[in-house]
Amino acid sequence: MPADIVEVSIKGLMPTANGCAVFLGNDEKTFVIYVDPGVGNAISMTIKGVKKERPLTHDLISNLFLGFGISLERVIINDVNDGTYFARIILQMQNELGRKLLELDARPSDSIVLALQQKRQIFVAPRVFDVVEDMTEILERVLKQQKDEPGREEEDQ
């Protein structure tokens, strides 16, 4: 595992007018990636362990990985340009012919869903982590507001 990548996890999800804000971070910093409603829903369902009646797109991809003996090794959010994030998924396939590593370009949103489904880590390149705005205080305020909303506890149970 390269030492020059930063491990992050999902710190929170928040619906927005156009989709979902995914808060990613660690003890040092939290940043946000905005995703479309479908992927936001997939992230939320995966986190909550919701069983789906039929496979969704990310489930299909995971099933293909399983069928071909491919494992998702890790996800790396490796670039950001004008608010657009880029990611790489690192795959490994091992069979009687040997071991093959494959690195694919992917949207961070899709990469996050796959990482959650496969219980794999999410990493960020230091050059990205260093330039993103720290949203830790905003996330803390949002989580506090959600906690303080009347009737919110009943909804969460």
Task: Tell me the per-residue pLDDT of 68-111, one tens digit each, with 9 for 90 and over.
Answer: 889 999 999 999 999 899 999 999 998 888 899 999 999 999 99
Residue 38 to residue 35: CA distance in whole angstroms: 8
Predicted TM-score of the model (pTM): 0.86
CA atoms within 13 A on the CB side of 123: 18
Residue 107 to residue 116: CA distance in whole angstroms: 14
- Indicate the angle between helix axes 57-67 and 108-118, nearest 10 degrees: 60
CA atoms within 13 A on the CB side of 47: 13
Domains in the chain: boundaries? 6-156
Helical spans, DSSP H, in 49-132: 57-67, 108-118, 126-129
Task: Tell me the per-residue pLDDT of 10-21, one tens digit each, with 9 for 90 and over.
Answer: 999 999 999 999
Q: Name which of 57, 56, 111 is nearest 89 in CA terms.
A: 111
Task: Tell me the per-residue pLDDT of 44-62, one tens digit each, with 9 for 90 and over.
Answer: 999 999 988 888 889 999 9
CATH code: domain 6-156 is: 3.10.690.10
